[in-house]
Amino acid sequence: MRPVIAITAKTEELRNRQQITLPDAYGKAIEDAGGVSIILPIISHKSNITSLAGYADGFLFSGGDDIRPGYYGEEQILDLTLSSDERTEFEIALLNEVIRLKKPVLGICLGAQLINVALGGSLYQDIPTQVPAPLDHRSVHNVLIKKGTLLYRIFNAPPPLMGGGEGEQVFSGEIPVISAHHQGIKSSGKGLIVSASSSDGVAEAIEITDYPFLVGVQWHPERILEDKYTQRLFNAFIYSARKSNRRE
């Protein structure tokens, strides 16, 4: 049986109704890697969050708007397009329960920032004004993957597990990515290490070392499904989720 991946989503008002919105590329990436996805509404009752954490085999925290700076102990210093507090609080509560159960977690863009904030880390509210000589993080650019990390092993993985091919060149440790963010990880949360960075020193990926699979990336791998590194990342995520699948 395919592992079930729960994906967080944005809630916004469309045609005078509150609706859940999520780019379909997230579900396509999960399906291509061998999983099946469910899209999550915002859940407020703790018992329901606990039930959800126990039900799904893996959790993908998706992209979205900015986290209110108060969640990482700062005053807002400029205009931001904020994620709703309801979404932030739901996702923090869900992540804490998922971590307690040691279920696989993948965070993308906002999802990576959410993981960091939930574990006590902080964010740059605006990379262009707070980081010296910053890259354009709303573009295609390269990131350097740190050796010895789970992310490095995923991208440098043997073909049978992660979708590599015979005769490939040795992994250089650097990959091109599609980014679309102006905020970024400033200080890492408890237990997190930075596993990738860009040339301006901004953290591009985080992970927990003593955990089956918890990875957050600042870029959008779901936007380039044909990319081999995207495929290896999602394959590794689904592989870990399959091991936690108790319905088989």
Query: pLDDT, tens digit, for every residue of 12-44?
Result: 877 888 888 999 999 999 999 999 999 999 999
pLDDT, mean of residues 74-98 = 97
Q: In the chain, pLDDT over 70 holds for what percent of residues?
A: 94
Q: In the chain, pLDDT over 90 holds for what percent of residues?
A: 83
pTM listed for this prediction: 0.93
What CATH number does domain 4-243 carry, 3.20.20.140, 2.60.40.10, 3.40.50.880, 2.10.109.10?
A: 3.40.50.880
Task: Specify the amino acid at residue 52.
Answer: L
- Asked if pLDDT for residue 248 goes beyond 80, the answer is no
**Pairing mode, strands 203-208 and 17-21:** unpaired
Q: What's the pLDDT band for 245 if we cut at 50, 70, 90?
A: confident
* 246 or 5: which leads in pLDDT: 5
pLDDT, mean of residues 207-212 = 96
pLDDT, mean of residues 195-218 = 97
Chain-centroid distance, C-alpha 4 = 17
- Asked if pLDDT for residue 182 goes beyond 90, the answer is yes
Name 20's bridge partners. 11
Encoded tokens for 214: 């918890």
Position 161 scores a pLDDT of: 52
Position 159 scores a pLDDT of: 47
Q: What's the pLDDT band for 133 if we cut at 50, 70, 90?
A: confident
* CA 68-70-71 angle, 5° bins: 80
